[in-house]
Chain A
């Protein structure tokens, strides 16, 4: 596709359930990022994939959060045993992997944990 796509666009779940969020980056982009955004706030870095290198997981808030990127393309962010404080918009971005590059963002997945 022409841009970064994310699915689902909205997700409502119950506390304690696991959720999986998907990101399809721009074709050919080697770098992929996950961020979390609370309502009207800035973005909180979660995890960064660059090519075949080990991912930078320094932003993951707890061991309930994990992410993988299969085949250097699609990425899945998994949140286990969701808590109400996990409610937020989860944004994915991709870039060509060069330094000081534009990050292209998807529309986000709005997660609500009841």
Chain B
């Protein structure tokens, strides 16, 4: 059972465009992480959010955790080819140790 749905599944844009990726669930999570994965490699953590309504910025990337802690979004401003990759959200639950439930993934391609 996939508890975290991401949209869109695929996104192909031109350099300089803005985009938003969504991560939605019917479950409440105590934390939400975003990872980026490049071909042939494992995912790499971008950010962790733990408070409902929390917004974090990482250069051109803005991450938001929903007020009810059931959803999250990732917004990229002025996308660059280096942003290309598979973006994964992952939710953690209190009492679950560090066990994560991963989202379905969003494959982003940024072209020149």
Chain A residues with CB under 8 Å of chain B are 4, 31, 33, 35, 40-45, 48, 50, 56, 91, 93, 95, 97-108
A97 and B98 contact, Cβ closer than 8 Å, known pairs A40-B86, A42-B6, A106-B42:
yes
CB-based A-B contact count at 8 angstroms: 69
Cβ of B52 within 8 Å of any chain A Cβ, yes or no, is: no
Complex: chain B residue closest to A58, CB-CB: B99
Q: Are B42 and A107 in contact (CB under 8 A)?
A: yes
The residue in chain B whose Cβ has the minimal distance to the Cβ of A108 is B42
Q: Once the chains are docked, how many angstroms separate the CA of A31 from the CA of B100?
A: 12
Which stretch in B12-20, B43-51, B67-75 binds the other chain? Answer: B43-51
Q: Chain B's nearest CB lies how many Å from the CB of A11?
A: 15
Q: A33, B43: Cβ atoms under 8 Å?
A: no
The 8 Å CB contact of A100, one of B42, B98, B103, is: B98
The answer on a CB contact under 8 Å between B98 and A42 is: no
Contacts A45-B99, A48-B99, A99-B97 known; A105 to B44 CB distance under 8 Å?
yes
Bound CA span A98–B90, Å? 16
B45 touches A102 (CB 8 A): yes
Determine the distance from Cα of A103 to Cα of B50 in the docked complex, in whole angstroms.
16
Q: Is B101 an interface residue (CB 8 A)?
A: yes
Q: With A40-B86, A43-B88 as known contacts, state yes or no: A107 contacts B45, CB within 8 Å.
A: no
Residues of A with C-beta under 8 A to B105? 40-42
B25 interface hit (Cβ, 8 Å): no
1/0 contact string of B85-112 vs chain A (CB within 8 Å): 0101010101001111111110100000
